[in-house]
Structure 1
């Protein structure tokens, strides 16, 4: 007897002696659907090999044809469609069979997140392939046959172990998107110059010491990422890439900024974490379209006055350089929204001014530029000030559009202060360092023009709804008060870009801040906040600076790493154990990368 009964079930007595390898199976329903749609998704099924039934999908007679049944219009297996899309991602595949040639109609092949160490030569026979994703495998080399795929548009090979790409890559004349990041490349072949249709090229996180001069021939390239390599210079030919819009050269060994006279469309230039010591007029004069200039973690000592040429500049990142002063011309840039200056030994600008945000800084620089002309006007105007307005800086009201009444230790703002405004438009209000327990009701009189409101260092316990009437507000400073909540109506401030809430009594991150999508800066250190919602934070797509230092955060959610808009994330002084202090000290980029690596997959 080869079978006997145990516990009411039949058991095969020879089962323990068998060596047969059971072939993984795919549900017949999936295969049946694939014959109709031309698409088969086998992702995340734990496959160690691709079943033969998949390779022979369009060759073998299907199971339903062997059944003695009548076929309706829906079940006519003989009217099948050739398989064009095969998804095998997130399995445990170590090899691919040469039988892949039996699916000649494939246009999409996705095998990312597997354990492939090589590719079959037969892949070169799939002449209709347009998109191939082989990322996150263990590939060390690529077969020459891969370059036969003349219709290929997208090739993703990131996060493998590839050490060399052969000259044959130049045959992919139609490719527009190529990702070779996170490999072990030490050089790029000259044949890259043939990839004239390439729009996006990612070479980041390799070991490149140089780029081939032929790279300048890629006239369609818009996005080039060479972050985290060993580049000491870039070829002059790079300047010939007329379509280039985004250039990433961060974390290299560059000593000077490349001159890019023909890159008239360049919008973003990222060269942080290099060894750049000098920024001269010759580096800036051609950057006519630049909106983001990132120079953090370099050795810059100054900025030239010619920074004023960058009329479209919106974000300037200069953190951790050696800059001691700023040119007044920086204040004249009309579109500048963010200037990041942390970690510089600035001596000519007061520290408290820097914490007020970019617009306050630019306003200060503009006022310094105007000082030589207006010094002579100051004395007579002060001498003629009316007695009732002696405590108000009328000159500031008229010339700087600023209403200043700070450091008076007053419990209320006198009516004389508002009366002195008359019909002058006011953009900035500073009532800081008083004893205010409430916001002056007459503040709404300035609602048409006021964009900057500073009520820091007072005794405010709540924010009245009247504040929501100041629809032009861009910067709001409530630091050093007694606040523990913000009204939901604050969402109405559609232009608000920065808010300072440090040194208050918040026990939770204010819910309304998640709703204000225009926010670029949130400073809320030294409170009692215990948690943050990374999914809602990610919706703040413009948020670049988030200061959560000295709160009660016990756990840093890994999903915070997906908030890639952040340029400065400060978490020091919280009681969490992970990430370790050494990781936090490495800076925002390293911290976000670490957090992303901890996200469960």
Structure 2
């Protein structure tokens, strides 16, 4: 009997044909890269990069060797030089010298691999602007890196680097430098040469001090020195003309940094240090500060000079040794959030502390020694004096630039309330906790000076289009209303920094917010928002706080991970499956990194 089954197909050439090995990079991908100039090989389990990738623009492609005619789209001789190469999340242990065969590269991303070294030839990539080397095993960098003078973004976080040479100063076009999570014990003075740097992350190293020359970096907006071993901060830091965010968490500071003439600083984070005393001289220069974070320190008391921080919006004093509060704290016109948990406060009833910031500040204001007649305009109550005008604090209008007509439960704002302004430059208006169904039309009379308006806890269903005339507005509080949309005209509010929309009836994220690039804080929790546009969200380059908690978001777009300006992202209370709660609890950085890892390749 034949050893072959009847009818079975037999390949007579079997045994003579050489089996073609599967290429880890599909040829179609290389072919497409010649047209687009971009090649994404992330997450493919590569242990080495095939030579065909490095020689992509040198070797004649396979189709050129075949006797076929070419259509307009298949003209291999019209190929585009590779400008973007993504090799992240593989198992690469080295990069060959052949990297220099791609001289047109603008972006090279090799993060999340096992690299312990780089070839010096990387310095031949003269067009390179973005180099991502984070999450590897690098202990040092080749001298070639310092020849990349067109580099604008250099990420080296999560490596094993112990020293950065002074050659760093040659990268004069850098605007984003991340050296966090390494083993650095000092920073070279040449850092001062990076005059274009906007963002510098030195967190999670072993730094004991900063070089004084760092003060020469006139364009730096964000400096993160968290989780180091610093005991003091050089006062020359105040000479940084653009510094807005300073992170000093988890160090060994005993005093708040003294930053004379620091007119731009908006956020100062000093949590988890050893600060015991807040001195007046440490506060008096921080006029622009909107956030002061001092949680987990040993602060025993607050000086009365805390009232100098007129722009303060958030004050975090959680887990300190504070037993009493200065009553002047209640007069800070913009303070929206005051965190005091974990302090041995004795002079304030516990039930009052649980009622929230608004009630606590109201209590402190009631304890302030008022001028004669309570600071009210001295007029006899005659038939010509309206009852509402008798309730207005004229002293606050003139000295604090604040018009407060809140908690009156009125359905409209009487005309004489706005008449009481009487030409004074009012910057703050508080009409919260009334029964308003419409925004008072005369609010536009304050368009030249109004910076902060609180219309929370009313019954507003719409915001009028002429709200856009309030060009000086920086803060809007519309929480606890009946809003379902915002007018597109609000994009004219070019100075707007924060907007609070929590506890309304929004079913979609207001489109106009994507068009206000000055926004730093968006709070839209406890609505019915079903999703967000992460691509448009990334255009908000200053956005640092985004609260989307307690909405109806079924899926978090992975591209949200590219919004790297975010320092606080709240997503809990939504019905999505990913990210899981175990990731959310790790904080904003972990969530953003997780989302980036999920971006389709």
Normalization by structure 1: what TM-score? 0.66
Q: Secondary structure at the match of 2:490?
A: helix
Aligned partner (choices 366, 371, 375) of residue 372 of structure 2? 375
Change (3 A) 1:282 1:388: closer
Name stretches of at least 5 consecutive residues in structure 1 with no aligned partner: 1-5, 68-82
Partner in structure 1 of residue 278 of structure 2: 279
State yes or no: 1:325 paired with 2:321: no
Partner in structure 2 of residue 392 of structure 1: 388
Partner in structure 2 of residue 444 of structure 1: 441
**Distance of 1:540 and 1:455 partners within structure 2:** 25
Partner in structure 2 of residue 341 of structure 1: 338
Pairwise CA distance, 1:469: 7.8
Change (3 A) 1:491 1:162: closer
Q: Deviations over 1:253-295 (max 9, x none)?
A: 333346466997874664343224333245456769x666652
**Distance of 1:477 and 1:292 partners within structure 2:** 16
Change (3 A) 1:310 1:232: same
Change (3 A) 1:326 1:579: farther
Query: Does the 8 Å CA contact 1:320/1:341 hold for their aligned counterparts?
Result: no
**Distance of 2:10 and 2:461 partners within structure 1:** 73
Q: Secondary structure at the match of 1:491?
A: helix
Pairwise CA distance, 1:210: 2.8
**Distance of 1:19 and 1:287 partners within structure 2:** 69
Alignment of 1:264-275 (within 5 A): 267=265, 270-275=268-273
Query: Does the 8 Å CA contact 1:221/1:241 hold for their aligned counterparts?
Result: no
Question: What is the root-mean-square deviation in Å for CA atoms of aligned residues?
Answer: 5.9
Pairwise CA distance, 1:449: 1.6
Change (3 A) 1:327 1:104: same
Query: Does the 8 Å CA contact 2:521/2:546 hold for their aligned counterparts?
Result: yes
Q: Deviations over 1:520-573 (max 9, x none)?
A: 555554444444444444545555555555444444444445555555555555
Query: Does the 8 Å CA contact 2:91/2:113 hold for their aligned counterparts?
Result: yes
Query: Does the 8 Å CA contact 1:448/1:470 hold for their aligned counterparts?
Result: no
Change (3 A) 1:123 1:9: farther
Partner in structure 2 of residue 471 of structure 1: 470
Partner in structure 1 of residue 14 of structure 2: 13
Partner in structure 2 of residue 139 of structure 1: 137
Q: Secondary structure at the match of 1:341?
A: strand
Change (3 A) 1:498 1:354: farther
Partner in structure 2 of residue 229 of structure 1: 227
Pairwise CA distance, 1:448: 0.8
**Distance of 1:49 and 1:86 partners within structure 2:** 20
Change (3 A) 1:296 1:559: farther
Query: Does the 8 Å CA contact 1:271/1:295 hold for their aligned counterparts?
Result: yes
Query: Does the 8 Å CA contact 1:111/1:135 hold for their aligned counterparts?
Result: yes
Query: Does the 8 Å CA contact 1:108/1:130 hold for their aligned counterparts?
Result: yes
State yes or no: 1:186 paired with 2:192: no
**Distance of 2:57 and 2:111 partners within structure 1:** 26
Pairwise CA distance, 1:152: 3.8
Pairwise CA distance, 1:392: 1.7
Change (3 A) 1:295 1:593: farther
Q: Secondary structure at the match of 1:447?
A: helix
Pairwise CA distance, 1:508: 4.2
Pairwise CA distance, 1:135: 1.0
Change (3 A) 1:342 1:594: farther
Change (3 A) 1:22 1:448: closer
Pairwise CA distance, 1:376: 4.2
Query: Does the 8 Å CA contact 1:127/1:149 hold for their aligned counterparts?
Result: no
Partner in structure 2 of residue 462 of structure 1: 461
Pairwise CA distance, 1:386: 1.9
Change (3 A) 1:163 1:127: same
Alignment of 1:81-230 (within 5 A): 88-90=85-87, 92=90, 94=92, 99-100=97-98, 110=108, 112-113=110-111, 115=113, 117-119=115-117, 123=121, 126=124, 133=131, 135-136=133-134, 138-142=136-140, 146-147=142-143, 151-153=147-149, 154=151, 158=155, 162-165=159-162, 169-171=165-167, 174-176=170-172, 177=174, 179=177, 181-183=179-181, 185-188=182-185, 192-193=188-189, 197-199=193-195, 200=197, 202=200, 204=202, 206=204, 208-211=205-208, 215-217=211-213, 220-221=216-217, 223=220, 225-230=223-228
Q: Deviations over 1:324-371 (max 9, x none)?
A: 636749968xxx9776534567959998894599xxx89x97x998x6
Normalization by structure 2: what TM-score? 0.66
**Distance of 2:571 and 2:56 partners within structure 1:** 54
Query: Does the 8 Å CA contact 1:444/1:469 hold for their aligned counterparts?
Result: no
Higher CA-based Rg? 1
Pairwise CA distance, 1:404: 6.2
Query: Does the 8 Å CA contact 1:259/1:282 hold for their aligned counterparts?
Result: no
Partner in structure 2 of residue 295 of structure 1: 293
Partner in structure 1 of residue 69 of structure 2: none
Number of aligned residues: 555
Change (3 A) 1:411 1:392: closer
**Distance of 1:179 and 1:569 partners within structure 2:** 22
Q: Secondary structure at the match of 2:392?
A: helix
Q: Secondary structure at the match of 1:110?
A: strand
Query: Does the 8 Å CA contact 1:84/1:108 hold for their aligned counterparts?
Result: no
Pairwise CA distance, 1:119: 3.6
Change (3 A) 1:592 1:318: farther
